[in-house]
Amino acid sequence: MKEQSYRKEERVTSSSRYKAIYQQGVWRSSKNFTSVIYENTQGIKRLGITVSKKAGNAVRRNRIKRLLREFFRLNKDLFPAGCDVILIAKKNIPPLTYRETCEELTRLFERKAKA
């Protein structure tokens, strides 16, 4: 059975790691999200999420983060192995359903895989 959890080891937590990923990672964008992908030394898939205050109030920002974490938890096979991925929500992002979020991020990661 595929593991569908989001463990602490699968999170990018340090600000120095975020800075390194931003500076050296590969950037890809879709309509509402930007992804930055950079290899890590742990050999596991890790997720970092950035949602600025320009995306809306706290309720909207937290909803976006919940949607992104759930997408990662259920679709780990789309994420590159042994890489840190930061997902950034763009400003003025409209309220999205989980289905819309999944479709957009799936296209983003499939396009990345082909590039």
Domains and CATH numbers, the chain: 29-114 (3.30.230.10)
Task: Tell me 87's DSSP state.
Answer: E
Distance, CA of 29 to CA of 17 (rounded, Å): 21
3-state SS class at 39:
strand
Per-residue pLDDT of the chain (115 residues; tens, 9 = 90+): 467 888 889 999 999 999 999 999 999 999 999 999 999 988 899 999 999 999 999 999 999 999 999 999 999 998 988 999 999 999 989 999 999 999 999 999 887 555 4
Task: Tell me 86's DSSP state.
Answer: E
- Find out whether 60 and 66 touch, Cβ atoms under 8 Å: no
Cα Rg, the chain, nearest whole Å: 13
- Find out whether 86 and 35 touch, Cβ atoms under 8 Å: yes
